[in-house]
Structure 1
Amino acid sequence: MQTPKFLIRSIRFYYLAFSLIGLFILLFVDYTLYSRGQDIQKTVAEQTQLEAQKELAFALDKAIRLLQIEAQNFALWDEVHQQFSDPTYYFFWRDERLKETDYYQSHYDGVELYGADKKLLQNAYVNQPNHFYLPEQIDKTEAQVIFTKNTETHLNYFYPVQKRNSKEIVGYIGITIDFLPYLLKTVNFYTINPTSLRLDNTNNLSIPYTKLSEHIQYQIARNPVNDYLWQLIQEFIIELIILMLAVGLLVFLIFNWTIYRPLNVISQFLETLQASPNKVQPLPNEKFFLQEFEQLKHSIHDYHSNLQQAQNELDLQNQTVWEQARRDVLTNIYNRRAFDEAWTETVKSFQQNPHTVCFMLIDCDFFKALNDTYGHESGDEVIKLTASGLQKHLPIDCPPYRIGGDEFAVILQNRSLQQAKEIAQKCLHELLNLEFSELGIREKMAFSVGMSHTDDGLEIDIQHLPKQADIAMYKAKQSLKDKIQVYHQTMEKESRSLVSSNIANTIVNAIDSGDNMELHFQPIVSLKNDSVYYESLVRIQGEDGLIYPNDIFHVVERRRLEMELDYQIVQQVRKKLADKTIPRGSGVSINISAKTLLDSGFTELFKDIKPFLTDYKIVIEITETSLIDHIYYANKVLNIMRNDGFLIALDDFGSGYSSIRYLAHMPVDIIKFDMTMTQALLSKDSKTQQIIRTTAEMVLHTGYDLVFEGIEDAHMLDVVKQLGATHVQGYLLGRPAAIPPQISFDKALSSERAVING
């Protein structure tokens, strides 16, 4: 599973994130503890409040019960009954006698006796007022708390006095007391702070005792245990916060020194390596606590050092390979690949910043003949001497390139045409004075130089310079004296080998798309069994008729389209085989250029032809020069093709200066004698005839099939039969046609006799 990009962060980010999460959890825990403590405190307060209410109710009940007991005892006293019977000395009894007895309690503010009618037993005299707190007449017998003007609170309690041995009420005892002092004296408070007890009269003069609790205000007594417990909780929370912060700080310091700091140092070290990958960086000086980080630091440093060393070695090897890939093995000067790169760069530079450019081609005249005459070893030495001679007189910024067998190119930039011509003259002079005779070459060597140049206005298309230099070089080859030729427009008109642009475009388009391309087939007949196969010959349909090989190959060679043409021909052959245009049981031969033969995809080109090998004889024709010039590579790829079932034919044998010493080792099955050799058999030159006869015997003795081209009449046919030819090809047997002609010797000979007799 791929990690989302937004999750890829630095270690510091995650550390801060985890720290914040930890801090949040700590605060949450502390808040929970604090809230829980407050809940406990609230619960305790509520419970204490309930206990206070119970305690107050208990206190009020106890106070009234004690007062009731006192009043009950009072009501049983004989003197009280005597007063009800004879109240004559009531005031004396109330003010003097009563207070001397145990019945009168110290917390009493006053005592009065009331008759059965609830009025005072004896009204006071004028100078003897009633008790200030008790009423003259009882309105309600229930206990009442009354408020005085000086904010005192008094409890008035009335108790009925019954006649002895009877339930008849003879009067009432009225007792008044200062309520709060009496309450505090009577009851010990634990939950309620006794000093905080207050009565709220709410503007009432009296309150029934039963409702007194609703009017008493008080404060809860402080509980040291609860306060101490709450203080402990708060201190615990604070200590926990301090402890967690201290632990977090300690973890941060440990993390920073043991993990983050090493990772940061290693990360910076890696960034430094990335910024300067080709520079050896020193090992960081920082020491780490964790051994793993120390090992990682040293491992990265050692790995980079080893990688740098390997990279340097690889760069050196790449440079060597690059040089080798761009150096000609024979001459050690730059090759065609290096030229293509240099020319591409020159074109690009010219397009960006127009400047003068001169393109120069140097070619050795008649090199193929020399190579065939003196052997490839001598030819190689000529090439090496030529390259060395060019290097001596070329500016250092204008190296020579070997772009073909004996063809060299030079790119001269920022030099006038006159300067370029002077350089060309020095090079040519050097080449003409080289000691080729030391190589055993007796002939005088000749070289041709073709040059093309951007004009003063720099308006020319630089891409045309190689083609123009090529035209100029061929012009130089035609001259015996002017071996340095500078291109001008008249050369194209003078060149007889050039075709019109219309025809050239038709050829290029046909090669590119395959349209308008035709194959004509000329029979090659076996003299052993009258079997036949056909050589495929390319034609292109133009606006004015067919375009023949001379014009086609001129354009192909000039534009280097050999591989593209061969590809289209192979595809056309495949189609003809598939639609059975070529008769089943016969065969077809396909001409292949040297460029295609040397391409890495040569064998792959014929993969679509292989299925037809079971029903057709398929021959691949190559030229003598392309085979001999690349004999070792050609051996490899051609043997692969032969193992697949293809036959290989050496075409136009004898058209040049054939190297007979290669004949026994050539990877071919068929040798085709050129038409010139066939015609030479009819000449009066006996030496030439003998050479051809001997060569034919060698070919047949080596085991090759021998094909004679150019058989035009019965006499020529008889001559090649006597030489042992295995196959013949020529107009006698059939001209090239779009539909392969069905031919036999009898039919061919009958046709010829009819023409002769006609």
Structure 2
Amino acid sequence: MPRSLSTAAGVLPHRLPARDHHREKPAQVGVHSYEALARRAIGDQSAPFKMLEVARTWGDHFVVERDKIILRKALSSYVAAHAAGPWDVPKPVSVNVSVRSLLNDSYVDTLRETIAELHLDAGSVTLEIAERDAIEPWDGEQWRGAPHTYFHNRLAGIVRDVGVVFAVDDFGAGYASVSRVAELPLTQIKVDRGILHHRLALQELDLVVALARDPVERGETPTPRVVIVEGVDDESPITLRQIHKRGIRHVQGYVTGERGAPELRRLTTETCKDIAARVRGDDENRPAGLTHRDRPGDGVPLRRSA
């Protein structure tokens, strides 16, 4: 199964004094990280969901084996793409994983071994916990303590043992709830695109930012979690300026106009200028991003990037 290595998040202009927020510059816009996406073929822009879900029907063992295959393919593809890409140092890369795989020692062994074989910095690998999975014991299992406490300790052990970091994927959808964000050791919160279409979207984004900062406020960590807003495109009623004003510096969506491809590329100067202008609010009524409709007759969907 080919992996599409797609820009996962772009650094919106940040770390400017409040009085300089109107000066966001193209030089401050760039690629933050990549997300590995499962595809049947390089040109496909959608995941083969039904094929991936077959493993759940067959049982726990098949879910774990599926995730091990995806992990090895994703990381090896990223290393090869980086070797041919424009960056001197690898960018962070994220891979989806199920709750059941993270509870399985053989998956963790594969994770550790793959990172070592590929000479990757474990801290640059983010495992995104799938929103489709409940954190609860299966029939016949006995967990010590409350489910989220048990799973928190499991993730903390993987962090100590392997060195990878974790993200909640698609916050606001499925099982990706406030309690999951509040109770797990995370470095990223990825916000589901559906939140952008809620009537109280801006208030919900404020809540996510507060959740991201909560561990800092409680003295548990010196740095807040990174918030990434997914699905930013022409259909999003929220603008990049509104997202930026909430303290969110990373987005994922159809905002670069690039075609989907496994290669790693820098953002063009024109793209950086365009994103910076949107963040500045040069045109408040301008859509937040692009969609495939911006390329009439092209026939090739755009990469979900930032």
Give yes or no for TM over 0.5: yes
Counterpart position of 1:533: 33
TM-aligned CA deviation for residue 526 of structure 1: 2.5
Shift of 1:620: 0.7
Give identity over the alignment, percent: 22
What's the offset of the Cα at 1:646? Answer: 1.3
Equivalent position SS for 1:601? helix
Secondary structure at the residue paired with 1:595? helix
Cα 1:707–1:697 change in 2 (3 A) is same
- Kept in 2, the 8 Å contact 1:540–1:546? The answer is no
Q: Which residue of 1 aligns with 2:189?
A: 671
Residue matched to 2:5: 521
User: In the alignment, is residue 572 of structure 1 matched against residue 73 of structure 2?
Assistant: yes
Q: 1:556 maps to which residue?
A: 55
Letter in 2 for 1:635: H
- Alpha-carbon distance change, 519 to 616 in structure 1, aligned in 2, over 3 angstroms: farther
Could you say what the CA RMSD is over the residues aligned between the two structures, in angstroms? 3.5
- 8 Å contact kept, 1:622–1:650: yes
Deviation (angstroms), 1:615? 8.7
- Does the Cα contact within 8 Å between 1:624 and 1:653 map onto a contact in 2? yes
Cα separation, 2, equivalents of 1:657 and 1:565:
21
Q: Which residue of 2 aligns with 1:637?
A: 154
**1:434-489 residue CA offsets vs partner (Å, 9 max, x unmatched):** xxxxxxxxxxxxxxxxxxxxxxxxxxxxxxxxxxxxxxxxxxxxxxxxxxxxxxxx
Structure 2 CA distance, aligned partners of 1:602 and 1:633? Answer: 18
- Name the CA shift for 1:645/1:726 in 2 (closer, same or farther; >3 Å): farther
Which residue of 229, 233, 236 corresponds with 1:708?
229
Using the alignment, how far apart are the partners of 1:741 and 1:676 within structure 2? 28
CA distances 1:697-717 after superposition (whole Å, capped 9, x unpaired): 332344211010011259632
Cα 1:545–1:697 change in 2 (3 A) is: closer
Q: Is the 8 A contact 2:122 2:164 kept in 1?
A: no
Corresponding residue for residue 747 of structure 1: 271
Residue correspondence of structure 1 range 269-280 to structure 2 within 5 A: none
Which amino acid in structure 2 is aligned with residue 740 of structure 1?
A: L
Q: 1:637 to 1:550 in 2, by over 3 A?
A: same
Provide the C-alpha distance between the structure 2 equivalents of 1:554 and 1:587, rounded to a whole number of angstroms.
27
Are 1:601 and 2:106 an aligned pair?
yes
Within-5 A mapping of 1:470-549: 517-523=1-7, 524-527=9-12, 528=14, 530-541=30-41, 548-549=47-48
Task: Report 1:715-726 matches (<5 A).
Answer: 716-726=239-249
Question: What is residue 18 of structure 2 aligned with on the other side?
Answer: none
Match of 1:696 among 203, 209, 214: 209
CA 554–744 in structure 1, closer or farther in 2 if over 3 Å, else same? same
**Post-superposition offset of 1:538:** 0.6
Taking the aligned partners of 1:551 and 1:658, their CA distance within structure 2 comes to 21
Query: Helix, strand or coil: the match of 2:254?
Result: coil
Instruction: Name the residue aligned to 2:178.
Output: 660
The secondary structure found in structure 1 opposite 2:239 is helix
In 2, the alpha carbon distance for the partners of 1:700 and 1:672 equals: 14
> Per-residue deviation at 1:746?
5.1
Equivalenced residue count is 234
**Which of 738, 741, 753 is the aligned partner of 2:262?**
738
- TM (norm. structure 2) is 0.64
Q: Distance in 1 between matches of 2:44 and 2:254?
A: 22
Corresponding residue for residue 26 of structure 1: none
Please state how far the C-alpha of 1:658 moved relative to its aligned partner. 5.3
- Cα distance in 1 for partners of 2:51, 2:272 equals 30
Q: Is the 8 A contact 2:171 2:177 kept in 1?
A: no
Candidates 108, 120, 124, aligned match of 1:617: 124
Deviation at 1:749, TM superposition (A): 5.2
Whose Rg is larger? Answer: 1
CA deviation after TM superposition for structure 1 residue 581, in Å: 5.1
Cα distance in structure 1, aligned partners of 2:201 and 2:233: 20
1:650 CA displacement: 0.5
Q: Which amino acid in structure 2 is aligned with residue 738 of structure 1?
A: P
Aligned AA (1:569):
I
Residues 90-239 of structure 1 correspond to what in structure 2 (within 5 A)? none
Provide Cα deviations, 1:259-310, integer angstroms capped at 9, x if missing partner: xxxxxxxxxxxxxxxxxxxxxxxxxxxxxxxxxxxxxxxxxxxxxxxxxxxx
Secondary structure, counterpart of 2:266 in structure 1: coil
Distance 2:165 2:240 in 1: 24
Give the match for residue 258 of structure 1. Answer: none
Q: Within 5 Å, which residues of 2 pair with 1:273-422?
A: none
Kindly state the Cα deviation for residue 585 of structure 1 after the two structures are TM-superposed.
2.6
In the alignment, is the contact (CA less than 8 A) between 1:707 and 1:725 conserved in 2?
Answer: yes
Cα drift, residue 728 of structure 1: 1.1
Whole-angstrom distance in 1 between the partners of 2:103 and 2:33? 26
| Structure 1 consecutive aligned stretches of length 4 or more whose deviation exceeds 6 Å | 544-547
Structure 1 CA distance for aligned equivalents of residues 183 and 122 of structure 2: 29
* Cα distance between partner residues in 1 of 2:181 and 2:91: 27
Gapped regions of structure 2 (runs ≥ 5): 15-27, 137-146, 216-223, 276-288, 297-306
**Partner Cα separation in structure 1 for residue 205 and residue 93 of structure 2:** 27
Find the aligned partners of 1:615 and 1:628 in 2 and give their Cα distance.
24
Q: 1:541, 1:623 → 2: CA distance?
A: 22
Distance 1:746 1:666, change over 3 A: farther
Is the Cα–Cα contact under 8 Å of residues 229 and 250 in structure 2 kept in the other structure?
yes
**Deviation of 1:586 (Å):** 0.9
Do the aligned partners of 2:171 and 2:189 also contact (CA within 8 Å) in 1? Answer: yes
CA deviation after TM superposition for structure 1 residue 600, in Å? 2.4
CA shift digits 1:193-250 (9 cap, x unpaired): xxxxxxxxxxxxxxxxxxxxxxxxxxxxxxxxxxxxxxxxxxxxxxxxxxxxxxxxxx
Higher helix share: 1
Q: Does structure 1 retain, via aligned residues, the 8 Å contact 2:134–2:175?
A: no
Q: Give me the TM-score of the superposition, normalised by structure 1.
A: 0.28
- Which residue of the other structure, out of 588, 591, 597, is the alignment partner of 2:93? 588
CA-to-aligned-CA distance 1:298-336 (integer Å, 9 cap, x gap): xxxxxxxxxxxxxxxxxxxxxxxxxxxxxxxxxxxxxxx
